Amino acid sequence: MMTWTITKLARTAELATLLTFGFIMAGFFPVSLSLIVLIVILNDLVTLTLGTDRAGASTSPERWDMPRLARTAAIFTVGWAAVGLGLLAYYLGVQNLAPAQISSLMFAYLIYSAMATILMTRSRNVFWRSAPSRWVGSVVAGNIILTTLLVLLGVLTAPVPRSSLLLVAVVTIVVTLILDAIKVHVYRRVTDQADFS
């Protein structure tokens, strides 16, 4: 439930931020409507499998502290949205890509970052210490592979060079490691504060 709540808040806010500020920056929506629909479907496929995930039991009952959940989601929202807008600025100002290619790359970025957010929010520790269930892992991997193939082959979207998609993947991995370290630090600080109160 905590994973679902945090990721739902973060992914919705990230998409809204990128679409709003992306439109202001570019003069067009940086992700086409058909790809937004596909993003929602792929994200929901993972959401459906979260009930099968391995979850560690808390030693005490969970308190639904919505301000704290919102702050945690904000870490991912701000991080992913800032990087996404940076990539958009790079595509517009440096690479001068066509809107259709930008849409393809931003679609890939939104799926990659959403899958990374799912993996990071499953645990309060570093994400690689806790393997997801077979269903969650399979759907996350399937979404990444499907997205990569769609973008490279130009199915339902404009094809892009491999080097451009590789840049998106590398940026996503680096940002995942940074955001996960911030998440762990924030959780530890909250735990320490609770121990002293």
What CA–CA distance (Å, rounded) separates 137 from 117? 13
Q: Give domain 2-50+66-196's CATH number out of 1.20.1110.10, 1.10.3720.10, 1.20.210.10, 1.25.40.10.
A: 1.20.1110.10
What is the per-residue pLDDT across 32-89, written as a single tens digit (0 to 9) for each? 889 999 998 998 888 888 777 766 656 666 566 666 777 777 888 889 899 999 999 9
- The amino acid present at 25, given as its one-letter code, is M
Q: What is the pTM of this model?
A: 0.85
Q: Taking 60 as the threshold, does the pLDDT of residue 196 lie above it?
A: no
Q: For the chain, what are the domain ranges?
A: 2-50+66-196
What CA–CA distance (Å, rounded) separates 61 from 159? 49
Q: Taking 60 as the threshold, does the pLDDT of residue 197 lie above it?
A: no
For residue 163 the two structure tokens come to: 């080097």
Mean per-residue pLDDT for 135-149?
93
Half-sphere exposure at residue 11, Cβ-oriented, CA atoms within 13 angstroms: 29
**Which residue in 76, 138, 139, 135 sits closest to 110, CA to CA?**
76
User: In which residue are the tokens 């100002």 written?
Assistant: 93
Q: What is the dihedral of CA 37, 41, 47, 52, to 10 degrees?
A: -170
What is the per-residue pLDDT across 87-133, written as a single tens digit (0 to 9) for each? 999 999 888 889 999 999 999 999 999 999 888 887 777 878 888 88
